[in-house]
Structure 1
Amino acid sequence: MVFFHTSSNTSLSPTSTSSLPTSPTSSMVEQTIQNAESIIKKWDLNSSSLITITPLFHPNRKEAKDYLKCVMDLRGTMHFLVSQNSAPHKLVIAQNLMQIAMKRLEKEFYQILSSNRERLDPESVSTSLSSDGSASFDVEEDEADQQKIAGESISEVERVSALAMADLKAIAECMSSSGYGKECAHIYKLFSKSIVDRGLYLLGIEKFKSSRINKMDREYLHLTIKNWLNAVKIALKSLFNGEKILCDHVFSASQTIRDACFAEITTDGAKNLFKFPELIAKNKNSRPDRIFRLLELHGAISELRPDIESIFNVELTSAIKLQALSSLQKVGGSVKTLLTNFGSSIRKDSSKTPVPGGGIHPLAQSTMSYLSSLSDYDRILTDIISIHPQIDNALFPESYFNDPNVIEAPKQAASVHLAWLILILLCKIDSKAQLYEDLSLSYLFLANNLQFIINQVQTSTLKHLLGHQWLSRHTQKIKQYALSYESVAWNRVFESLPERTTSELSYEAVKDCFKRFNAAFEQVYVKQISWIVPDGKLRDELKVSIAGKLVPVYREFYETFSTKLNADFVRVSPDDLGNYLSDLFHGTRISSSSLLQSSSHSKGCLLR
């Protein structure tokens, strides 16, 4: 039968007054003791009857209600006898009865916990409580009404869970008000701590040590971190939160007991749980990609901090919050160290081999891949970097700061820092360009690498972090590099042709122009056929620009004078010239030192 419900009617609690009048007579005291003796001894654990193995809180719950009521009446009688300082023999009898009752209630408390182990899981606990977080063992409503209320409001499983919680609360209040709160709390702590510890074990939370983590290979370490990231949310929001709800409910009459119980049950497990990120932060592995796991750990703790503060909100659990905060700080510190080391590794790159054909430098590829991935953690990075900005202007040439807009001032600290790391990379790419003996190839190398960097920015979260102004400014820089390349590489070819074609040129002058053009173009072509421009758009723009300045002038000169000279001097037709230009910037390998042996080169269109 149901005696627990969530109504606001009078409930049985240690603070409820007994049925004794304010000034009971001697006969009333005697009657109360006799009534208590008949009920309490019936359920005496030392009895030889089957009562010792029969639960007091069985389906016919009237006897449980009567038992708790008689204990409260007995407690009231004992208080009266003490206050009157009379009838010591009656007080001794009452005290003996109280001890028998407490032993019985201890057993009932443990049996309820044990038999409802599965029902008292965190989810059941949270759904079994009423909106005001209470359930009561009512002594006024009859069983039929209580059962009807329970049946209408909750499912059978939830009903049983709610009844078990209310039974535990009623016993805890009765024992605490009778001076046996420590005994009740001891049983509860032993039982609940085993549930919490087992729950953490099933979630894969172990007691790690730094030495063990340092010995883990990369793959296993990543799996361990991934498991922790999944487990910490469940542990906090279900395991610890559910335990707090149950503990607060059962010991609602005593804040001291419930705080002490919750702290003792959860402190070891929670501290171990939140210490894991700190151990990872102390890991000696210095691989740059380690930062991503640290960012995930930092993000998880930051996201859960409100729940941590809410659940562990008493002084006795402050050590748990301090451990979580310590891990957050240690992880953040490791992230900042890795960022600093990453910037230093870019500056210290000492490779001296030029990239063939002016292609993309491996440093640009690895750096932008890293920064593109980092940009996905911009919110977490901002939280970390904003505490201690790490930009050092002294490490860069003064020319980089002539323009006050070299780095914009985005709202997020992560934006500033990522832009700064790209600036470090650009400085290094500038120094790598100096490795080329051919100045025009240096400019092509700079254009290629800056275009690659911009492409990486545009296809990642970096685009939103750095902003349109950053992209526009650096796109303009590519155009400057392209013009410089074109000027240095092709000026000799452009200058080999007269500025204006006129029929007044002598035969020797025309012949000399063709000879100079053939020599200049062949030299440029042979040299640049192996150069590369990976970006299709930039490659086409370069070809169009060169062809636009060269082909029309050459076509006019060719059409005017080609018929006056033999094939030994007129070796390239205007169409062939366009086709030769279309060969450029694909990184083609050649075996002959001279490819302009005839004008048979015909590939159709100017641009591939």
Structure 2
Amino acid sequence: MPRKGMRSIFFRSSSPSRTSIPPSSPSLRFSESLMEDNIEIVESLLNKWDSDFSTYAKITSLFHGDRTLAKQYLHSVKGLQSAMQYLVTQNAASDKLVKAQNLMERAMKRLEKEFYQILSANRDHLDPESVSTRSSRSSASRSSISDLEDDELEDEFRVAGESISEVERVSVAAMADLKSIADCMISTGYGKECVKIYKIIRKSIIDEALYHLGVEELSLSQVKKMDWEVLELKIGNWLKAVKIGVKTLFYGERILLDHVFSASVAIKESCFAEILRESAMSLFGFPELVAKCKKSPEKIFRTLDLYEAISDLWPEIESIFSYESTSGIRSQAISSLINLGDSVRTMLMDFEKAILKDSSRTTVSGGGVHPLTRYVMNYICFLADYSGVLTDIVADWPLVLQSPLPESYFASPGPDDSPISVRIAWLILVLLCKLDGKAEFYKDSALSYLFLANNLQYVVVKVRTSNLKLFLGEDWAMKHESKVEQYASNYERIGWSRVFESLPENPTTEISPEQAKVCLKRFNTAFGEAYRKQKSWVVNNPKLRDEIKVSVAKKIGSVYRRFYDRYQLRFGSDSLVKYAPDDLENYLSDLLYGSGGVGSVSSSSSSSQSRGPLRFAQ
């Protein structure tokens, strides 16, 4: 044969060569002798490790102990491959080539068996958690576990010293053994055989792990038929499973596969896709099924949990499934995000509609905080805890006013107002307008204003003591606090007007004893009526309650004391004095605690109607 063909196999030289060598040249005879030696060496090793002929070979692994035998075996296979390449160039139909081919098949059968045994025997040591943990620890000194060659294992162990556990030691060794076998089989054209084994075993490990995490393949009809309590439990299981699935199972499998099949990018991609496609599609598809179920405002928080989980894990998902063959998995995760976002927006609109449609005509005993106020504000406070994902969801979702409220009720967003801030402010405004309507159900105007003060104070406190303050800001809080003061002032003015009017405008002005007695009787009557009426009224917030009582005491107590001190000797009979100045303060201190219990609900004079779609929380 031409010498150029021989040199391309055994030598790498850039220097020019002669065009031919005589068939009987010493160089050609040497090559033939070398190839025959390679075949004989392989045949000898195969006979030793052929389980059909050797009991020892049945129970012993090539990759046991220090791997010397394994290295010798793999080296011999490479020599056999070189021999076959040489024989093909000489005579493709020669008996020697046929023999070499048979030996190669026997060698691959043995390596296939070794590959299977290593994968099977090391299921626990090659679990994704062990692989991902080992990779993380070794990344400080090496780019990845894939950087380790067989002859570097001992150096790796020595450097790691006590820092590497026995489990990790076995894991590293098994990964290196699998890689050496895969490299050999791929280079000799037998890659499909080891890939088939790898897929079967590794897929079963991933599927089993996800099963134990509670991940199951469900259809849309199955999810739609589930009671919410059952579905909520499955969502909770999924939230735990997806983090482990992505950060441990999928990540660990990618690390292992990248290492074992580093010799072929195409094999890595197709193998990884086939092992994880079903399980990953099922895992990332579950949130989309939930998003397509019947929606209600109460379900928004679990929906946000699902959105947040995928959003937080997206960098890992994108990195792990970076192959083109796994683009469908990435698309499924994105599709779930899109559908979850749409579902959240729908539920936010339904929540707003539920507030607007609330037709309850009930009043709260004593003018306390209404259940609607508690429900809506608690709901919005929880929403604020999801500020990160909500910002993404509503970023390109303009606010469309759905209520009959004039636009003038709602200030135009400023340049620094985020979409989520605008939407939260709008929801609170819708609530406050609804409360204005409910205040009209109270026959007593003073109680109406006390009701408004109580409920607006509750709203402001909720804003100040939650993440809502980050969205609405100090100006919003101060503006609404001033409204609380205004409502409280209106309550004082109307609720105590007859008491104020019963006393002289200037208690130091001289009046006759008869006029003083008339004033005192009028005061007794007015104060007694106001006290009896307002004894059942309530102010839920202690600070607001104290402020109102101090204000009323100053306006009534100070005037009454001066009047009493000036005319007490002229009243004639102690029976005419029902309230001494000191007693008056005690009476006032008993007010606004409510006799019917804080926040208890009683029916108004008008007929009670349905509470509407919202589920109120006391």
The normalised TM-score by structure 1 is 0.85
User: Where does 1:284-295 land on structure 2 (aligned, <5 Å)?
Assistant: 284=294, 286=296, 288-295=297-304
On the 8 A contact 2:384/2:468 being kept in 1, the answer is yes
Residue of structure 2 in register with 1:453 after alignment: 459
- After the TM superposition, which of the residue ranges 78-87 and 577-586 deviates more from structure 2? 78-87
On the 8 A contact 1:20/1:73 being kept in 2, the answer is no
Residue of structure 2 in register with 1:236 after alignment: 246
Residue of structure 2 in register with 1:375 after alignment: 384
Tell me which of 133, 140, 148 is aligned to 1:135. 148
Do the aligned partners of residues 326 and 144 (structure 1) sit closer, same or farther apart at CA in structure 2, a change above 3 Å counting? closer
Shift of 1:163: 2.1
Do the aligned partners of residues 64 and 569 (structure 1) sit closer, same or farther apart at CA in structure 2, a change above 3 Å counting? closer
- After the TM superposition, which of the residue ranges 344-353 and 145-154 deviates more from structure 2? 145-154
User: Where does 1:134-173 land on structure 2 (aligned, <5 Å)?
Assistant: 134-138=147-151, 154-173=164-183
Do the aligned partners of residues 87 and 279 (structure 1) sit closer, same or farther apart at CA in structure 2, a change above 3 Å counting? closer
Query: Aligned partners of 1:439 and 1:73: how far apart in 2?
Result: 102
Deviations 1:297-334 (A, max 9, x none): 11111111000011111011111111111112222222
Deviations 1:132-172 (A, max 9, x none): 3322234xx9x998986787884544333222211111111
The amino acid of 1:244's aligned partner reads: R
Do the aligned partners of residues 583 and 115 (structure 1) sit closer, same or farther apart at CA in structure 2, a change above 3 Å counting? closer
- 1:275 equivalent in alignment to 2:285: yes
Do the aligned partners of residues 32 and 438 (structure 1) sit closer, same or farther apart at CA in structure 2, a change above 3 Å counting? same
Residue of structure 2 in register with 1:313 after alignment: 322
Residue of structure 2 in register with 1:108 after alignment: 114
Provide the secondary structure at the position in 1 that maps to 2:363.
coil
Query: Aligned partners of 2:507 and 2:169: how far apart in 1?
Result: 102
Residue of structure 2 in register with 1:73 after alignment: 79
Residue of structure 2 in register with 1:221 after alignment: 231
On the 8 A contact 1:278/1:330 being kept in 2, the answer is yes
On the 8 A contact 1:372/1:462 being kept in 2, the answer is yes
Shift of 1:527: 2.3
On the 8 A contact 2:157/2:164 being kept in 1, the answer is no
Shift of 1:394: 5.8
Tell me which of 185, 189, 194 is aligned to 1:179. 189
Do the aligned partners of residues 351 and 60 (structure 1) sit closer, same or farther apart at CA in structure 2, a change above 3 Å counting? closer
Residue of structure 1 in register with 2:595 after alignment: 588
On the 8 A contact 2:508/2:562 being kept in 1, the answer is no
The amino acid of 2:190's aligned partner reads: Y
- After the TM superposition, which of the residue ranges 37-46 and 358-367 deviates more from structure 2? 37-46
Query: Aligned partners of 1:151 and 1:472: how far apart in 2?
Result: 63
Query: Aligned partners of 1:127 and 1:324: how far apart in 2?
Result: 25
Residue of structure 2 in register with 1:302 after alignment: 311
Do the aligned partners of residues 565 and 393 (structure 1) sit closer, same or farther apart at CA in structure 2, a change above 3 Å counting? same
On the 8 A contact 1:382/1:413 being kept in 2, the answer is yes
Deviations 1:403-440 (A, max 9, x none): 66xx7776554333222221111111111111122222
- 1:325 equivalent in alignment to 2:331: no
On the 8 A contact 2:48/2:54 being kept in 1, the answer is no
Tell me which of 354, 358, 363 is aligned to 1:349. 358
Do the aligned partners of residues 155 and 18 (structure 1) sit closer, same or farther apart at CA in structure 2, a change above 3 Å counting? farther
On the 8 A contact 1:454/1:474 being kept in 2, the answer is yes
On the 8 A contact 1:102/1:180 being kept in 2, the answer is yes
**What RMSD over aligned residues (CA atoms) do the two structures have, in Å?**
2.9
Provide the secondary structure at the position in 1 that maps to 2:147.
coil
Residue of structure 2 in register with 1:192 after alignment: 202
Residue of structure 2 in register with 1:432 after alignment: 438
Shift of 1:363: 0.6
Tell me which of 190, 211, 233 is aligned to 1:201. 211
Query: Aligned partners of 1:354 and 1:152: how far apart in 2?
Result: 72
On the 8 A contact 2:49/2:57 being kept in 1, the answer is yes
Tell me which of 113, 117, 129 is aligned to 2:123. 117
The amino acid of 1:188's aligned partner reads: Y
How many pairs does the alignment contain? 567
Provide the secondary structure at the position in 2 that maps to 1:485.
helix
Do the aligned partners of residues 315 and 145 (structure 1) sit closer, same or farther apart at CA in structure 2, a change above 3 Å counting? closer
Residue of structure 2 in register with 1:496 after alignment: 502
Query: Aligned partners of 1:147 and 1:350: how far apart in 2?
Result: 74
On the 8 A contact 2:199/2:271 being kept in 1, the answer is yes
On the 8 A contact 1:379/1:414 being kept in 2, the answer is no
Query: Aligned partners of 1:306 and 1:550: how far apart in 2?
Result: 67
Do the aligned partners of residues 163 and 218 (structure 1) sit closer, same or farther apart at CA in structure 2, a change above 3 Å counting? same
Deviations 1:109-146 (A, max 9, x none): 111111222211224334556613322234xx9x9989
Do the aligned partners of residues 490 and 399 (structure 1) sit closer, same or farther apart at CA in structure 2, a change above 3 Å counting? farther
The amino acid of 1:350's aligned partner reads: S
Structure 1, unaligned runs of 5 or more: 1-16, 590-608
- 1:573 equivalent in alignment to 2:580: yes
Query: Aligned partners of 1:379 and 1:290: how far apart in 2?
Result: 18
Query: Aligned partners of 2:158 and 2:524: how far apart in 1?
Result: 104
Do the aligned partners of residues 95 and 500 (structure 1) sit closer, same or farther apart at CA in structure 2, a change above 3 Å counting? same
Provide the secondary structure at the position in 2 that maps to 1:289.
helix
On the 8 A contact 2:36/2:83 being kept in 1, the answer is no
Shift of 1:510: 3.4
On the 8 A contact 2:199/2:275 being kept in 1, the answer is yes
Residue of structure 2 in register with 1:541 after alignment: 547
Do the aligned partners of residues 146 and 479 (structure 1) sit closer, same or farther apart at CA in structure 2, a change above 3 Å counting? closer
The amino acid of 1:248's aligned partner reads: D
Residue of structure 2 in register with 1:29 after alignment: 35
Residue of structure 2 in register with 1:358 after alignment: 367
The amino acid of 2:350's aligned partner reads: N
Tell me which of the two structures has the higher relative contact order, counting C-alpha pairs closer than 8 angstroms and 6 or more residues apart.
2
Tell me which of 395, 399, 402 is aligned to 1:386. 395
On the 8 A contact 2:376/2:431 being kept in 1, the answer is yes
Query: Aligned partners of 1:150 and 1:563: how far apart in 2?
Result: 100
Do the aligned partners of residues 503 and 304 (structure 1) sit closer, same or farther apart at CA in structure 2, a change above 3 Å counting? closer
Shift of 1:581: 2.4
Residue of structure 1 in register with 2:522 after alignment: 516
On the 8 A contact 1:410/1:416 being kept in 2, the answer is no
- After the TM superposition, which of the residue ranges 257-266 and 466-475 deviates more from structure 2? 466-475
The normalised TM-score by structure 2 is 0.84
Do the aligned partners of residues 416 and 170 (structure 1) sit closer, same or farther apart at CA in structure 2, a change above 3 Å counting? same
Query: Aligned partners of 1:47 and 1:205: how far apart in 2?
Result: 46
Provide the secondary structure at the position in 2 that maps to 1:373.
helix
Shift of 1:71: 1.4
Residue of structure 2 in register with 1:594 after alignment: none
Do the aligned partners of residues 214 and 107 (structure 1) sit closer, same or farther apart at CA in structure 2, a change above 3 Å counting? same
The amino acid of 1:553's aligned partner reads: V
Query: Aligned partners of 1:321 and 1:504: how far apart in 2?
Result: 90
Residue of structure 2 in register with 1:12 after alignment: none
Shift of 1:240: 1.1
Do the aligned partners of residues 427 and 409 (structure 1) sit closer, same or farther apart at CA in structure 2, a change above 3 Å counting? farther
